A and B are shown apart, each in its own frame.
Chain A
Amino acid sequence: MDGNYNNYSSFGGGSGGGGFMPGEANSPAGGKTSDRDNKTLRPVTVKQALDASQPFPEAPFQIDGADVANVLFMGQVRNISSQSTNVTYKIDDGTGEIEVKKWVDSATADNMDTDDGKAPGDGKTELALNGYARVFGSIKSFGNKRYIGAHSVRPLSNINELHTHLLEATAVHLFFTRGPPGAAPAGGNAAAGGNAAAGGADAVMGGANDYSAGQNKALASMSLVAKKTYNLLKTESLDDNGLHMQVIASKLDIPATEVARAGEELLSAGVIFSTMDEQTWAILEY
């Protein structure tokens, strides 16, 4: 049963996905499914974790309009409180302070962080108050309180690691708000960036934001030719029939075979569709 729902929602794409949203909201299984599919580990700042939004209760948290399963951040340990079932740390990275809970598994408490059998002690004992730690885990909320359910909390000893992490977090933030580096600053990208920047401020516009962000994200992982093709279709299409592959190839001065490949990429992502024949494409607009 679970598997079926999973398939439907992933095939649903634009229109189908919308229909399933209410169902997912009520079914905990829906939330879990997307958690399982999304295994990314995103570098963030504590402020981003605190600002992460939740479209509806039980939904995965979103940062810059993208679902986040796991987050990674680094900061100073401001408080350690050991309980029988968990250790709670307060982590401050200069952008904010957040509580981090690491559950203690009594059976493996002593060797959890030493799977490789090299480090003598466990991570917990090495962490010092006001020392730096690197934390990875998932964003959780309990009541109105935001905290991190940590998979790992370890001491950090190299300051360059801290600094590059902050730069990584910036780079990933820019990826989601402005598209990948080197992409043509197309209207679509810029608009999506603007929407994301204003994200959360306007709840009514939430739906519209999601669509453009979704399209932007689909494009983000595509080849340069695919992006160029998409932008050309967006700007040069004269009517609803879009443009023929050969026309695109000559306008972009790119071999037709490459354009054909780009077209397949865009077709399979569902951002364009074929009109007159297999080789004539138009932008699929919502």
Chain B
Amino acid sequence: MSLQTPRILPSHLHAFHPSSASSNTVRILGTVTALHGETGTLTCGTNGDVTLILKSDARLQVGKLVEVVGKVADLEGGQGYGLRVLGSTEWGDPADCDYKIYEHVVNATHNFKSIFYD
């Protein structure tokens, strides 16, 4: 069975935390709004932010829309959940993406799970 990466929003991170879920690799879409060396902030439309734990070779740019595949992890100092980036795809200008459609996609994929995820 190949790896599945459910599409989620920041509010679903807890459901994929290593302590509660067997699979904690997820896919999330957002705009890079800040980069601080090892970490970055991904803003997901009006759904809040996610802290990204970056790889050293990550090439993210502030202001770009990116789709991140990563593992849900605890942030240092108990600051909640973060996402350890495994890979990212740049989609360019966030204005070209209708984030509402993505929200519907997340909803649909979780409501009709049988065609998306095991």
Q: Does chain B have a CB within 8 A of A45?
A: yes
A167 to B116, CA, bound (A): 11
State the B residues within 8 Å of A (CB). Answer: 1-7, 27, 29, 65, 67, 87, 89, 91, 96-98, 101-102, 104-105, 108-109, 112, 114-118
> Smallest CB–CB gap between B17 and chain A, Å?
19
| A160 with B97: CB separation less than 8 A | yes
| A163 with B115: CB separation less than 8 A | no
Q: Known: A94-B5, A95-B116. Is A166-B89 also a contact (CB below 8 A)?
A: no
State the A residues within 8 Å of B (CB). Answer: 44-45, 47-48, 76, 92, 94-97, 130-132, 158-160, 163-164, 166-167, 169-170, 173-174, 197
Q: Which of A47, A164, A174 has the most CB of B within 10 A?
A: A47
| B65 with A170: CB separation less than 8 A | no
A155 to B65, CA, bound (A): 18
| A131 with B89: CB separation less than 8 A | yes
* Interfacial chain B residues near A97, Cβ < 8 Å: 2-3
Q: Known: A94-B5, A159-B65. Is A167-B104 also a contact (CB below 8 A)?
A: yes
Contact for B89 among A48, A76, A163, CB less than 8 A: A76
> Smallest CB–CB gap between B116 and chain A, Å?
5
A47 to B7, CA, bound (A): 14
> Smallest CB–CB gap between A16 and chain B, Å?
33
Q: Known: A95-B4, A97-B3, A130-B89. Is A163-B101 also a contact (CB below 8 A)?
A: yes
- Closest residue of chain B to A48 (Cβ to Cβ) is B115
Q: Known: A159-B96, A163-B101. Is A132-B89 also a contact (CB below 8 A)?
A: yes
* Interfacial chain B residues near A130, Cβ < 8 Å: 87, 89
Contact for B97 among A48, A94, A159, A173, CB less than 8 A: A159
A132 to B67, CA, bound (A): 11
| B89 with A96: CB separation less than 8 A | no
* Interfacial chain B residues near A166, Cβ < 8 Å: 105, 108-109, 116
A166 to B115, CA, bound (A): 10
> Smallest CB–CB gap between A160 and chain B, Å?
5
A44 to B114, CA, bound (A): 12
> Smallest CB–CB gap between B36 and chain A, Å?
25
- Closest residue of chain A to B65 (Cβ to Cβ) is A159
> Smallest CB–CB gap between A194 and chain B, Å?
13
| B115 with A160: CB separation less than 8 A | no
Contact for A159 among B91, B104, B114, B118, CB less than 8 A: B91
| A173 with B87: CB separation less than 8 A | no
